[in-house]
Amino acid sequence: MIELRTPAEIEQMKAAGRFVASVLEATRDAADVGVNLLELDALAHRMIRDAGAESCYIDYHPSFGASPFGKVICTSVNDAVLHGLPHDYRLRDGDLLSLDFAASVDGWVADSALSIVVGDADPADLELIATTERALDAAIAAATVGNRMGDVSAAIGDVADAAGLTVNLDFGGHGVGRTMHGDPHVPNDGRRKRGLPLRAGLVVAIEPWFMRGTDEIYTDRDGWTLRSKDGSRGAHSEHTVAITPDGPLVLTARAS
């Protein structure tokens, strides 16, 4: 069921957006060569506890997960493109790391993701990350009253196409509110002027994620981490966005 939020409810959701942004900033800044993925998860866990927030991940057990996630942040490295389960791995020079985090503050959820390279970066990795960011910006700009969901999806797909990338449609964006994943689904490609009419009060997580060499994925033996079928690297960018009469409002905007 699609739920529209009142202006007062969107105002309440801002606290969750600010908190999620702060955790991503902290874990991004802590990520460096030699840092263990479990250290990043522990940092996010401390911040959740200190803020009195609630993790959306630790007990999360959807049909596509082998078991409850058990951690509080997704850490996807290189060919791990989504749902990376933190494990005993120390980041290496040149690793492409995607961080995806969602939490609930006072009963409201926000969800966001970013990608970085630790150490010396391959320019191709930086361009892949920049492509997801351009796609996210284009999608947010299309998230206006009077447009349709297809306009948002097509904006993402157009950026991918211009970069010579194909798009996996198995996973995409989603509604956000009292829970992390709700209606509507936000595909990462689509046709303009098709789909759900966008109305004020709709809050969605928009999340383009691209792989450099394929659009096919498989599930790692850990039962969670999704990897590119050909071993190519992936990147992921995401924001929680409220559609308002005055335009899109990015609830998870980061200070830097």
* 59 marked among binding-site residues: no
Q: What is the largest CA-CA distance in the chain?
A: 48
Cα 121–Cα 75–Cα 143 angle in degrees, nearest 5: 85
* 183 marked among binding-site residues: no
Helix H or strand E segment including 121: none
Distance (Å, rounded) from C-alpha 127 to C-alpha 113?
A: 17
CA distance to 7, 21, 49, 159, 207, per residue, from 113 (Å): 25, 9, 20, 18, 8
* 39 marked among binding-site residues: no
* 83 marked among binding-site residues: yes
* 54 marked among binding-site residues: no
Here the tokens at position 177 are 């509110």
* 238 marked among binding-site residues: yes
CA distance to 123, 145, 175, per residue, from 242 (Å): 33, 11, 10
* 207 marked among binding-site residues: yes
Distance (Å, rounded) from C-alpha 253 to C-alpha 110?
A: 11
Annotated binding residues for substrate, written as ranges, equal 83, 181
Binding residues for a divalent metal cation, by number, are 100, 111, 174, 207, 238
Binding-site residue set: 83, 100, 111, 174, 181, 207, 238
